[in-house]
Amino acid sequence: MITLTTTAAAAPAIGSSPVPAQVECRVEHTVTDFGFGFNALLKVTNTGPDPVTGWRVEFDLSPNAVIKTTFGGRFTSSSGHIQVNAPDWLPTLAPGRYANIGFNGSKPTGTGVTASNVTLDDVPCTT
């Protein structure tokens, strides 16, 4: 005679919320300067152990630089503090995966372009 025993997993407590993903990231920033304009790319890599779903990257763009065209995410601003939300085609960054966030723009001749204080879901990225 064979006896089967089943054990039900405990249900989460009512009102409990899911555990947030452990977020860690690295950023690589490259810029091609055209004197009066620029082309820039931020490569943001998820270096944490968990996938990051519905991700958001934020950074501070150099003063006087203005973004004209973008790719790799949904930009919510074009100067100053920039927020980029996950595009529909890349809603999740799995561990080890990255997003290429690119933008072109204008700036005064003789000034540089930087992206500083880069974060992934409010967690500062290392370089």
22-38 pLDDT tens trace: 999 999 999 999 999 99
pLDDT at 55 over 50: yes
**Percentage, residues of the chain above pLDDT 90:** 79
Name the nearest CA neighbour of 66 among 111, 30, 26.
Answer: 111
CA dist 58 → 40, 72, 103 (Å): 15, 13, 14
What is the Cα Rg of the chain in Å?
20
* pLDDT per position as a tens digit, 61-96: 999 999 999 999 999 999 999 999 999 999 999 999
Mean pLDDT over residues 100-121, rounded? 94
Across the chain, how many H-helices and E-strands are there? 0, 11
pLDDT for the residue 10? 46
pLDDT for the residue 14? 59
Please give the Cα distance from 92 to 31 (Å, whole number): 26
Name the nearest CA neighbour of 119 among 54, 28, 49, 25.
Answer: 25
pLDDT for the residue 8? 41
pLDDT for the residue 110? 87
